[in-house]
C-alpha cells in the first residue's frame, strides 16, 4: 500500500497493484453521473482475485464541491497541486459542460494530459463535451445525453456521433448517454476488465438487472 497525501484530508491509501480511477468533479456536477461509476468501481475492492480499483475524486480546489443537486463533496485530490497516476479517467456531466467549463483551459489541458496516458477514458452524459474539447475523441465514435446530440454535433462537427445507444466504446474511450444509464457503462467496463461473473456480482450487489446482451450499445473494433 502507498499513501498519497492531499493537503486537506488524512492519508489516502492506494494499492499499487490496483487500477487508479480518477473521477473529475467541479461545481455543478450531477449526482448520478458521479455516483454511478463511483459505486460500481468502488465495489471491486470487495471482490477476491481481481485487480480492483482505487477510486478517488479530483478537482481544481481543496474546497468542497457543490453538485447541481446541492450535495457537497470534498475532493480527494487537487489537480493543481498533486495527484496520482490515473489509469481510468471518469468525466461525469456538469451544469456548465456545454459552455463555461469548455473555456476552462487549465481543466481541459488536465483532461487532455491525463486522458492521453490513461488506459481508459470514460464520460457520462455531457462529460463527452469535455473529452471532445480536449481532442480525445478525434477519429472515434462517441455519444452523449440524447437531448444534447444535436448540440454535440453542431459544436464538434468533425466527430462521428452515434445516437440511439446507451454507450459507445471506441478505442480507449467509453462515452455514455448518462443519467441512471451511467451504471450500464460502468458495468460494461467492469465486465470488460473482469469478466461476466464479476460484473454480474457487482450488479447484484446494487440490485441492478444486468444483461449486457440487452443493452443498446456500439462497440467499435479497431
Mean pLDDT for 146-155 is 97
For residue 221, what pLDDT is reported? 78
Q: Residue 9 pLDDT more than 60?
A: no
Name the nearest CA neighbour of 176 among 163, 158, 159.
163
Q: Is residue 13 part of a domain?
A: no
Domain enclosing residue 190, as ranges: 19-220
Do residues 136 and 112 touch, judged by C-beta distance below 8 A? yes
| Domain annotation covers residue 50 | yes
Mean pLDDT across 51-71:
98
Confidence band, pLDDT 50/70/90 cuts, at residue 53: very high
At 115, which CATH number?
A: 3.40.50.880
| pLDDT tier at 77, thresholds 50, 70, 90 | very high
Is 126 domain-assigned? Answer: yes
d(CA 103, CA 2) in angstroms, rounded, equals 35
Asked whether 181 and 104 are in contact (CB, 8 A), the reply is no
Asked whether residue 12 is domain-assigned, the answer is no
The pLDDT of 150-175, averaged and rounded, is: 98
Confidence of residue 222 (pLDDT cuts 50, 70, 90): low
Query: Of 114, 171, 119, which Cα lies nearest the Cα of 140?
Result: 171
Query: What grid cell was written down for 144?
Result: 452523449
> Above 70 in pLDDT, residue 7?
no
Mean pLDDT confidence for 151-168: 98
Answer yes or no: is 23 within a domain.
Answer: yes
Provide the mean pLDDT of the chain: 95
3-state secondary structure the chain: CEEECCCCCCCEEECCCCEEEEEECCCCECHHHHHHHHHHHHHHHHCCCCCCEEEEEEECCCCCEECCCCCEECCCEECCCECCCCCEEEECCECCCCCHHHHCHHHHHHHHHHHHHCCEEEEECCHHHHHHHCCCCCCCEECCCHHHHHHHHHHCCCCEECCCCCEEEECCEEEECCHHHHHHHHHHHHHHHHCHHHHHHHHHHCCCCCCHHHCCEEEECC
- pLDDT tens digits along 90-99: 999 999 989 9
Asked if residue 45 is part of any domain, the answer here is: yes
Q: Average of pLDDT values for 47-66? A: 97
3 beta partners: 13
**Does 14 fall in a domain?**
no
Confidence of residue 120 (pLDDT cuts 50, 70, 90): very high
Give me the pLDDT at residue 129, please.
Answer: 98
Q: What is the model's pLDDT at position 23?
A: 99
pLDDT in tens, 178-201: 999 999 999 999 999 999 999 999
Instruction: Assess if residue 146 is contained within a domain.
Output: yes
CA atoms within 13 A on the CB side of 38: 16
CA distances from 17 to 50, 51, 53, 123, 212 (A): 10, 7, 9, 24, 28
Query: pLDDT confidence of 147, banded at 50, 70, 90?
Result: very high
Number of domains within the chain: 1
Amino acid at each position: 500500500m502507498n499513501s498519497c497525501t492531499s493537503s486537506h484530508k488524512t492519508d489516502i491509501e492506494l494499492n499499487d497493484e490496483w487500477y487508479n480511477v480518477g473521477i473529475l468533479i467541479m461545481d455543478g456536477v450531477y449526482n448520478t453521473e458521479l455516483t454511478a461509476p463511483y459505486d460500481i468501481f468502488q465495489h471491486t475492492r470487495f471482490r477476491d482475485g481481481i485487480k480492483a480499483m482505487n477510486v478517488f475524486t479530483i478537482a481544481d480546489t481543496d474546497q468542497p464541491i457543490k453538485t447541481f443537486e446541492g450535495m457537497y463533496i470534498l475532493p480527494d485530490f487537487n489537480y493543481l497541486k498533486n495527484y496520482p497516476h490515473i489509469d481510468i479517467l471518469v468525466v461525469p456531466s456538469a451544469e456548465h459542460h456545454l459552455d463555461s467549463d469548455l473555456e476552462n483551459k487549465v481543466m481541459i489541458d488536465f483532461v487532455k494530459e491525463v486522458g492521453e496516458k490513461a488506459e481508459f477514458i470514460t464520460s457520462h452524459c455531457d462529460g463527452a463535451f469535455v473529452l471532445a474539447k480536449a481532442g480525445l475523441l478525434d477519429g472515434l465514435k462517441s455519444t452523449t445525453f440524447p437531448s444534447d446530440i444535436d448540440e454535440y454535433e453542431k459544436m464538434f462537427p468533425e466527430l462521428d456521433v452515434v445516437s440511439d445507444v446507451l454507450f459507445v466504446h471506441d478505442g480507449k474511450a467509453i462515452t455514455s448517454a448518462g443519467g441512471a444509464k451511467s451504471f450500464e457503462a460502468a458495468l460494461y467496463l467492469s465486465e470488460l476488465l473482469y469478466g461476466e461473473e464479476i460484473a454480474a456480482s457487482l450488479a447484484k450487489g446494487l440490485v441492478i438487472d444486468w444483461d449486457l446482451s440487452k443493452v443498446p450499445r456500439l462497440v467499435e473494433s479497431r
